[in-house]
Structure 1
């Protein structure tokens, strides 16, 4: 244990007094600050005060957000007032009075004005859309749904807009239409305004979800509900006058690589240059735009509408085309099943089933690479490395 030194043997505070007197004589040396870091700057205190003022003022609306709304900052002004509620109050009262009138009286007035069928149908669709929007506003407690200006989650980034996602009811309806009612994917996509690839993905995911529910696996339902509450969704309300809301453009034409080049093609002025001709100019095997779009039946519907056909006639022709396409698919499936039953012999194995088919040696072609030859599916190797093969051209044609 080290020895202790008595306090009486230590020097008294003469040196301390000297140090203090010297420190007073040097005013250029600043005194050390004892304040904490968060309280040093006055600017930081003002920011905190402004933050609490915003919490108690305009920011109080985010403490209890609106149900069924995204509640982004761009949807409110600096005072915390909802912008789309103000726009709803500024709508024309004459339009509201027209929506309250009887539909038969409106149709009779349009007939007296001499409007054609297409114009009257467009006006009827607009009125139905406005009535459904008003019903939705009444269901939401007088608050209109979000618009494009309300879909900006970052106020300083005006280019980014939050895109809507499919609601749970709409995804369930897509699954029911495809799986239970046996409708083809293209018709369901055209009816609900959802892309074909998205409909197929929803059906696959819903199938897995149903399978997991049967197996008793636990699903993340609270997480999915929380995410859907924060994002704009495309609803499905069968009890309303307009239950289907289009989700996205479904007939966009992808850019073909053959059409990326610029071609100056001379043609006669007296000749009608159609889309088929333009496709042949780019490539001899390229189909026109009307046949390459995902849903060609929408073009037929629009063409029938321009021809003056009524809605019942267009729906009848579309049902006939759907029935014909479904019959052709079923016929092809039956023919394929009958051919496999007659031409293929199946030998069941322990892990795989082996299928045998009779092949004619006359179908291999002159060079042995016929489409019906054995091994055509897997390709045939080149003969460049064989001994004695001539690899240079021997004649010029």
Structure 2
């Protein structure tokens, strides 16, 4: 053990700055594996040093279309960001998948990246200060919309504790973050945003797990809406169930050949329409509460009385808007003597 600590284990005892520094990132002699790749990449010719106008003119001479040129520009921006990040790390590249194994004998387990403190702070600022909606922030930063909502709530609690003078466990948080891969936010670089996770994955609906052979004529245009109705009448199509439908619209407009300015204009129009609809719905809700609720102020709390209609009990007396829906009537399976197993098969 002491020979290993003085030899290959010395690199693990003295951790690298800005790196997870797991055992799987080194060979048996204690050499950093991804450092070899850096030497090989530096030996090759790097065209990123050329001027951007020179690269664009070269692509125009080669006859590339706008889609290919835009893809190449994104690729160059990614490589430049990786190069700048590597320079910030002191010439050490970012971890690969094989470098994220804390236990070398467990090849299946890899540490998943977490949000850095700078990225969490920026998500909180975008939502609370600039008043951007959660879907737009999630699409911009490549973070799941549920994770963005959780970050905003936790950051609000953190800000409240700081105002109250409560002591935060900052040393513990910094120590944990130093041991895990992080998704950074670097506003001073050419590519400040790094996608954190897939944000538009569609969960499998239980109604779609069954196999159905549905006959349809060859002349019929069978769409996703029709497929959803085959599984269930109330099931929405995939385009309407994904978390961020705006990304599908942007990709569709891109394939249609619209320019970047036209796509941004159409997206802004849709965002304004959604914002107006949400504002109008909130205004109607507030107006309805003021019209139907009576508030009686009390010593410790206020009592709110809501006007109800006795006609909203439904056919079985269990309507959502009925009195006692939440507290008054128990479910049938909680009653004594009720048969809870099926007695016949229809």
TM-score, length-scaled by structure 2: 0.89
Contact 1:276 1:288 in 2 (8 A): yes
* Structure 2 runs not aligned, ≥5 long: 333-346
Determine the structure 1 residue equivalent to 2:302.
353
Query: How is 1:32-111 mapped onto 2 (pairs within 5 angstroms)?
Result: 51-91=1-41, 96=46, 98-111=47-60
Partners in 2 of 1:66 and 1:373 — Cα distance? 61
Determine the structure 1 residue equivalent to 2:337.
none
Partners in 2 of 1:70 and 1:112 — Cα distance? 44
* Residues 124/217 of structure 1: CA separation in 2 closer, same or farther (3 Å cut): same
Partners in 2 of 1:222 and 1:360 — Cα distance? 57
1:82-104 residue CA offsets vs partner (Å, 9 max, x unmatched): 111101111275651x1111111
Q: Report the number of matched residues.
A: 331
Task: After TM superposition, give the deviation of residue 351 of structure 1 in Å.
Answer: 3.7
Task: After TM superposition, give the deviation of residue 135 of structure 1 in Å.
Answer: 0.7
1:232-274 residue CA offsets vs partner (Å, 9 max, x unmatched): 0111011111101011111111111101111111112232222
* Structure 1 runs not aligned, ≥5 long: 1-50, 384-397
Task: After TM superposition, give the deviation of residue 134 of structure 1 in Å.
Answer: 0.5
Task: After TM superposition, give the deviation of residue 313 of structure 1 in Å.
Answer: 2.1
Contact 1:117 1:308 in 2 (8 A): no
Partners in 2 of 1:364 and 1:73 — Cα distance? 65
Partners in 2 of 1:382 and 1:201 — Cα distance? 33
Which of residues 323, 337, 340 is equivalent to 1:375?
Answer: 323
Which of residues 187, 191, 194 is equivalent to 2:140?
Answer: 191
Of structures 1 and 2, the larger Rg is shown by: 1
Query: How is 1:222-371 mapped onto 2 (pairs within 5 angstroms)?
Result: 222-359=171-308, 363-364=311-312, 369=317
SS at match of 1:204: helix
After TM superposition, the structure 1 stretch with the greater mean CA deviation from structure 2, 126-135 or 325-334, is 325-334
What is the CA RMSD across the aligned residues, in angstroms?
Answer: 2.2
* Residues 313/349 of structure 1: CA separation in 2 closer, same or farther (3 Å cut): same
* Residues 360/58 of structure 1: CA separation in 2 closer, same or farther (3 Å cut): closer
